[in-house]
Each structure stands twice: as structure tokens, then as C-alpha cells.
Amino acid sequence: MAGNWKMYKTAAETAAFFEKFNPLIERSGHCEIVICPPFPFLSDAVAATRGTHVMIGAQNLCWAKEGAFTGEVCGPMIRSAGCSHVIIGHSERRQYFGETNEIVLKKTMAALDVGLTPIVCVGETLEHREAGQTEAVILDHCQGATSGLTPEQFAQILIAYEPVWAIGTGKTATPEIAADAHRVIRAHARQAFGKEAGDRLRILYGGSVKPDNIKKLMAQPEIDGALVGGASLDPISFASIVNF
């Protein structure tokens, strides 16, 4: 279960979150928990979760290892802050910051190079869905983000299916719609990287996941977990998603 805080929370709010959240997930050994705060508070979050099984991830990284890239943050920095994961190619990055498949692939490689687990996001817009292009877009994102990876590298990534029309809109994909998309992703993974790698891939669903819809989503065998935005900001609501 991964939480994406996006551009929310200050230092004090980050501390307050973990103070409430940590005791609520003490018994949730059944799943891996990753929280992705904004860059300035990654180290704070790592410190606040020491001794728990919560892992911390970044929401983005630069494809370069270091250099004259004003304002960017690279994989080695994120790793040395104590993070284990990084979200890559979120639809907000694709929409507002011009990220293409090519950039997403470079970032995925950069994350793997330093031992960060990439959570690679794919998903169609409402226009794509209405034009019957859902499957084509998902395949294009999957191919774009993973072509050139070895099966060993592919085995280290997570894919998040996030239909853009469901993000922050309160319109969750039905469990069946999400499961259909996950089947497309898994079939592609099997075909491109072999049956075993495809079977082992973990696919998260994201888009208006809330405490009251998580059970039905997770009842679909195709859905391995969730990438949660809005509902991950509140410790009680994210804990109840984790403990569904």
C-alpha cells in the first residue's frame, strides 16, 4: 500500500502524521507500506518511521546521477536520505511537466541503478477511454517505461495503474474496470519478460482509493495493492486502507 502525498504537508504536519499513523499500523505485517512525502521531508519521514515496517519513497527523481541541473533531485540523494522507493511517470508529471515515455524509462533506469524500487505509473485519460483507446494507451505506457529493461531489472519494479479520470475526482474505477486493465498490464509483462516475471509483477491500482472502497478493489485477484493520494494524507484513513 503506497501513499502519495503530492505537494501537501509541512514539516510539522509530517511529524504529526507519523505520530498518529505508526501505532495504527503496528499489526499490519500482512503488507508492505510505502509513504511518499515531498522531497524536503524525506529524511524526517525516514527518521519518524525508524523501527516500524513503513518504507519511505520520493515522488520523482532526475534521470541524471549528479550534475548542473538546478532544482533537480537525483537517485543517489534520495537513496542517501534513506528512501527505498520512488514514484515515476505519475500522470501529473506527464500532464504538467511534460514527461514522456522516454523520460519515464530514463528515470526508471536511474532508480534501478541506485537500488530504488520504481513505482511506474500508467493510465489513460477520459478522452482515451471514450475513444476506445484504453488498452492501446496502457500498452504504450508499459512498453515505453520498460523496454530495454532486463528481466532481472523488470522484476524489481512495481506498476501502478492509475486512470487519469479517477485521480482526485472521487470517481474510482469499478473493481472490474481496474482488474481488466491489470490483466492487460500482466499479459504484456508475461509476453515481454517471460511468464515468471509477469506472474510475479505487483500491480497497484490508484485513483480515488478510499477506506470505503478498498475492500472491493482488493477482492479482485488482479489487484495487488493501491497507490493512494488524497486518502493517504490523513493517518486514520490511510491506516484503515492498510488494515482493510
Q: Which residues contact ligand PGA (rule: CB under 6 A)?
A: 4, 162, 167-168, 206-209, 227-231
Q: Is the dihedral of CA 26, 18, 234, 176 positive or negative?
A: negative
Which residue among 90, 141, 182, 188 is the active-site one? 90
Angle at the Cα of 41 from the Cα atoms of 146 and 122, rounded to 5 degrees: 25
Whether 185 and 122 have beta carbons less than 8 Å apart is answered as yes
Is the CB of 198 or the CB of 207 nearer to ligand PGA? 207
By beta-carbon proximity to ligand PGA, the closer residue of 134 and 198 is: 134
Q: Which three cell numbers stand for residue 150?
A: 532486463
For residues 27 and 53, the answer to whether their CB atoms sit within 8 Å is no
Nearer to ligand PGA, 207 or 211 (CB): 207
What stretches of the chain show up as alpha helix (H) in DSSP? 11-24, 42-48, 75-80, 91-96, 101-113, 126-130, 134-146, 151-154, 175-193, 195-200, 214-218, 235-242
Q: Is 188 a catalytic residue?
A: no
Find the catalytic residue in 92, 99, 124, 162: 162
Distance CA 193, CA 19 (A): 42
Closer residue to ligand PGA, CB minimum distance, 1 or 189 = 1
Measure the CA dihedral 48/11/75/145, to 10°: 100
Q: Least distance (Å) from ligand PGA to the CB of residue 93?
A: 10
**90 in active site:** yes
Q: Which sequence positions are flagged as catalytic?
A: 90, 162
